[in-house]
Structure 1
Amino acid sequence: MLDSAWIAAHPAPVHGDGTDKNSRGRVLVIGGSCKVPGAIRLTGEAALRAGAGKLQMATVAAATIALGVIVPEAGVIGLPAADDGEIAPDAAASLSSSCGSADVIVLGPGMGDDEAAGQLLDVILHEAGEETVFVLDAAAITAMASREATLGPFRGRIVITPHHGEMASLTGKSPDEIADDPEAIARDIADRFGAIVVLKHSSTVIVAPGEDALLYGGGGIGMATAGSGDVLAGAVAGIASRGAPPFVAAGWGVWLHGQGGRRAATVSGPIGFLARELPEEFPRLLPQ
């Protein structure tokens, strides 16, 4: 079980005096669209609340000014948009310089175009540093299906955060088949891609090659709300950027996300709190 005992046995990094924002961890979040321009705000704020020191967010250019104002702690990068309001497939060239300086790159929150996500994935893999960790969500997960060979050199550095529908797109299985044996499905994908798989549901399964599976019982029914998954991706990224191994970061991200939901339910009621309220709980849950 992913519980307080596991958390105590796998502590998150603690930073001493003299730590600057760069050594606390640099996160680049790429995603969003004209339809859901706020998705990466949720991811980015979660990363900062999980302790990352520096944040950049890249999304369609039309959304960058509003995004930069609402998250003044972050730098923003404007990308060209396609006619449907998604990030254009050729936008990847604008990100080369930013990828090299990031400790963690999150790709996919708020994106619905698999082609654009795939082209962005190709670029960030090529331009990122030798130790960069990648957190893939939404359309970026589907884009993995045709890139098994491309992802091979990055085994152990990729965390994916699919719900059952996204896992169905990646595996070709139905959501019902995945629900019947989520651990086995997650294990198969983890072994195939060398990835840490966070398979989200009312109970979340975390699987990585060579590791025992973790099960988190969930933060309650209130977590089934729009944007909750975007927050989870940011929580994982924030802990990973601070130097935690990807599997530990995945465990901590799920725990922060779920415990944040439990705390929000206690204050606001079991249902009706918002995804953007979850990261506010993270600092109270992190080690001092």
Structure 2
Amino acid sequence: MKVLELKLTEIEPNADNPRRDFPAQHLVDLAEDIKKNGQRNPILVSLKDGKYYLIAGECRIRAFRLNGDQTIMASVYNDLSEEAFDTLAIQDNIFSLSLSPIETGIALLHAQNKHKRTQEDISKRMGKCQKWVSNSLSLVKKIVPEVQELIRNKTLKQSFARLLKRVPRDRQKVIADYIVQNRTCMSGAEFYIKQQLDQSTITPDVRRLIAVFSKGAFILGQISARYSDQKQELPKGLASELSKACLEYSKVKDQLTMWILHSAATDQDLQNKSN
């Protein structure tokens, strides 16, 4: 590797640049810093087939253009393999803290798919632990793009991603919007998500039970209409059975009433926490 002064027009852009965002104010500040203090670190390029391909340093190139500069200092690598090229691009951005968590996840997933690598392979190449790789990948594998965008533009804090990964993909955006709109704290979001997950599991069973319960109430009403309202005697032995059924029905009714009241109180508690 050697350091050369290259013309900006000689450098081919990196089509797979891990960094996706280039905020205008950041570029203006960087350009001003370079004008005042000079270029602190050379950009990274790969020389292949007589052309210079940018590995890392897109922001610095844009800042130099803002300043009207024509050349830039570059560390030149010769004939890098595609995998070595991609690894350097990700590493440089990670170590300079240039990538958002979502950009990191997208870059690692692209490298994993492109080069057919395991998480363990990637962790060794990046000099990171496997858990870090797993967490970064899960942001883009388990979180829907709409929620990724909320995290990327800082509308939603990344810390909420840990909770949203447990939510079915078709419900993540709705819950994320609720968290953002209500400015929900972490504990409030955890409580809300738990309630939503419990509800999605319990609701079908509860509805079936309500249907059975309603059918039982209808049958008891029919018995009442046939015998009690017409002042007819119950068949022998049926009186004790009916008495037991009515007692059980009364117990279930009381339990259901308590559950409804508890659910209403839980909803109110959730509203208080989110506010």
Provide the TM-score with structure 2 as the length reference.
0.26
* Greater C-alpha Rg: 2
More helix by share: 2
Work out which structure has the larger RCO, using CA pairs closer than 8 Å and 6 or more positions apart in sequence: 1
Provide the TM-score with structure 1 as the length reference.
0.25
